[in-house]
Copies of this chain bind each other. A is one copy, B any other.
Amino acid sequence: MAGDGSEQRALQYEQTLMYGRYTQELGEYAKEEAARLRESGQRRSLSERSRTLDLLEYEKGRCAKCRICTVRCQKFLISRVGEDWIFLILLGLLMALVSWVMDFCIAICLQAQKWMYGGLDSNVFLQYLAWVTYPVVLITFSAGFTQILAPQAVGSGIPEMKTILRGVVLKEYLTFKTFVAKVIGLTCALGSGMPLGKEGPFVHIASLCAALLSKFMSLFGGIYENESRNIEMLAAACAVGVGCCFAAPIGGVLFSIEVTSTFFAVRNYWRGFFAATFSAFIFRVLAVWNRDEETITALFKTSFRLDFPFDLQELPAFAVIGIASGFGGALFVYLNRLIVQFIRKQKAINRFLMKKRLLYPALVTLLVSTLTFPPGFGQFMAGKLTQKESLVTLLDNRTWAKQGIAEEFDYIGHSQAWKHPQVNVFITLVLFIVMKFWMSALATTIPVPCGAFMPVFVIGAAFGRLVGESMAAWFPDGIHTDGTIYPIVPGGYAVVGAAALSGAVTHTVSTAVIVFELTGQISHILPVMIAVILANAVAQSLQPSLYDSIIRIKKLPYLPELGWGHHEKYNIRVEDIMVRDVRYITLNCCYRDLHNVLLTGHLKTLALVESAESMILLGSIERAQLQSLLSQQLGRPRRLEYIRERSIAEKKRMSVVSNPVSEDSSQRVSQEVRFQISTEESTFSPVRAVPQKPLKPALKRTSMVERHTEIPASPNDNSGIALKNLFCASPDTEALEDDGDVEDDMTIREITEWEEMQLDEQVNFNNCKIDPAPFQLVERTSLHKTHTIFSLLGLDHAYVTSIGRLIGVVSLKELRKAIEGSVTVKGVKVRPPLASFRDSGTSSSENEATELHKLWDRHKSMSLPRERHPSESDEKSQ
């Protein structure tokens, strides 16, 4: 089965490439892709032939039946291996192991720091040096290692996963290198004790695992080369990432859905649950096996009382936590962005930092660890506790500040860190919150693999604790009025605060579920839900989520969400935002038109219409396809053929003997072309690949098609006579390697004349891959509906038609601008959606009202009588 082997290798190769391209230069990418496809098509047809031969041989052989049976068994095994559940189990197992090993290493790292710090308690300076050097070294190593091996591993990875799941191909984001860099970099970063999180990177690591596992499984064949299946598996992997990080399968699935998807296919639901549950299960079983735990329990188990978890009258306090967390979350996102932008803008700083890439991480780590140094300022903010320890103490079910006097409380274990002889526990908490807040915002800008979820979670818990302790001090006997005394449980407030703040920063509701799973108690469900929803409401109206903020900073190609209750979106139509000046080519255009269109625009695809008069949309063609058409027409090989034919004709005129070869070959080509029209599958290669070999075996040159696709297309710096430089290889070098039977004896003038002649010929679209059903919208399709369709189908652009006639085009860019309320029509910036509402009394801004804006206003003012028609036509248009 040699054919199979080479094919599998080809598939594997393809998958590496599939993920290994960045979309920014999609034009080039598409070109390479096309070339690769043609190549592999060739290879495939060869391997297919060899396979059929193999099979024939088998059947001739004596033990044919036996071998057929073997083939069948093999196929059966392959089909089993291809089953989703096996893949998901493997993924879950792998991720649980990774998560557990990483936790183990991090714990050892942190213990080593404590041990060093503890061992040097004789000398405070040495202690400080140990306390500070250790994280600086780890973080610097992490940053350097990541920088060298795979810079893509920096950051949380959730924004990138969000973009990838939307269907955009990001370069190098799912490779083995990135995996190694992310795992080792994350372990070091977390081992340093800095306020960094594990959860975001784990989503990325799980996706990497899934992509690599999928590649590995495709060695055994199966269905691993299906693109849509890969996306489904990546979505499941994101759930596994969160699930095995927190041992929270349900929360993991929901969080990953909220964070990465726009539209979620419910049929994938079970995949996420299955893999995440299995992963969380193995993760916790490993803990039991390692004797850390007696049985499977929650990661941060709490033991609040069950009979009376909270009083109804405490709900306002929970609501206050929610609203405050909303503001806090928005502030966190803003602060984080501000730091990044500040460092980017300050050119002096930036230049310096760019030179010494590791200086920034080292400086930030030095600052943070100096401030948390326990004998120093750290004593006022429980600096000696690790993130995990602080969270455990914050979720404690005892009250710290009974009667407002901290001394009376019996601090045991880690809780002692919160006690300070001179300072009240309230002040400690406030300092902890304030310091950790900016520290976390700063630390997450370090270029190491890190997330922000855990730090924010801890800050939220501390804030909740603060409110809870205040309540407990205020109402020492609880609020309940009927006889029984139910004291207030500040730990419950901490749970609420943690869920609310992390929900506000990530704009998710499922943090509520995560806290239930993390603490193993669901008794505070209503306070948590109320706080999370309020926090989301506040945060979403102030700032984008942390992940969206990073997407904007990194300028990743992503479509923003429609915000809460943006009703005016229902009233904007496609006709208001579409670009009316569409570049198109007609079915009967000549190569000159093609050339002009390619020179003037930079669109990835061009519309193909029947004729300029009818404007009936027939399909769309990729730019690379047109470039290849044009270069084929004007390329040197064709010119050489022309010269040869001319000389043959001349010879013919001189002798009576005619050459039958050329006629035969032309006949062959026309046959091929007809074949191509009837079956769409063979659009890629045959014309170029098959006839080449029998036709001119004497010509020792590489395939023309293969060569010209390797040349970067830069159509702007050329024009007029030097046209051939534009799309063909440099003629000088070509002339050297070309030792064919024909001599290129044309002068520049002759070449120009010939080219002019060629340009006037009509384009033959037969060799061209045409997308026959590009997505179409109607003028009156609402923005809301357009957004839905774009995000549902992962579109890049859509044509706007009116009864089959092409009248405009909408791309992601226009849509993004329309949603962000900054549509620029003719260079004038339109006011944001609510602006017209705010200053509707004054007429000061009249002069900057654009055509679109007027339209917008008209829609608004006439929304009552007109709204029905559009919804009607929208319904029908799809």
Contacts and interface: CB of A to CB of B under 8 A. Distances in A.
Contact of A284 (B229, B521, B526, B794): B526
Contacts of A865: 7, 44, 47-48, 51
A797 to B, nearest CB: 11
Interface string A601-621: 000000000100000111100
Interface in A254-293: 254, 257-258, 261-267, 269-270, 273-274, 277, 280-281, 284-285, 288
Given A270-B533, A522-B521, A680 B225 contact: no
A684 to B, nearest CB: 7
A701 interface: no
A308 B570 CA distance: 54
Interface string A861-878: 001111111111111111
A520 B523 contact: yes
A779 B565 contact: no
A261 B250 contact: no
Contacts of A840: 72
A228 interface: yes
Contacts of A37: 872
Given A79-B567, A265-B263, A296 B775 contact: no
Contact of A263 (B520, B537, B792): B792
Query: Taking each of A298, A567, A617, A794, which has the highest tally of chain B beta carbons within 10 Å of its own beta carbon?
Result: A567
Contacts of A739: none
Interface stretch (A179-187, A645-653, A749-757, A799-807): A799-807
A439 interface: no
Interface stretch (A120-128, A139-147, A309-317, A709-717): A309-317
B562 A267 contact: yes
A864 B221 contact: yes
A83 B680 contact: no
Interface in A730-788: 769-773, 775-780, 784-785, 788
Nearest to A512: B250
A409 interface: no
Given A227-B874, A680-B778, A876-B771, A277 B526 contact: yes
A620 to B, nearest CB: 9
Interface string A234-258: 0000000000000001100010011
Interface of A: 4, 7, 11, 14, 37, 40, 44, 47-48, 51, 72, 79, 82-85, 221, 223, 225-229, 249-250, 254, 257-258, 261-267, 269-270, 273-274, 277, 280-281, 284-285, 288, 294-298, 301, 303, 306-312, 480, 482, 509, 512-513, 516-517, 520-523, 525-526, 529-530, 533, 536-537, 561-562, 564-565, 567, 570, 610, 616-619, 622, 680-681, 684, 769-773, 775-780, 784-785, 788-789, 792-795, 801-804, 840, 863-878
20 contacts: A4-B864, A40-B868, A85-B565, A221-B864, A225-B871, A226-B570, A229-B570, A269-B509, A285-B312, A294-B308, A295-B480, A296-B312, A301-B306, A306-B520, A520-B522, A520-B523, A616-B618, A680-B802, A773-B776, A793-B878
The 7 closest A-B pairs by CB, nearest first: A618-B804, A773-B776, A277-B529, A522-B522, A772-B803, A227-B871, A264-B264
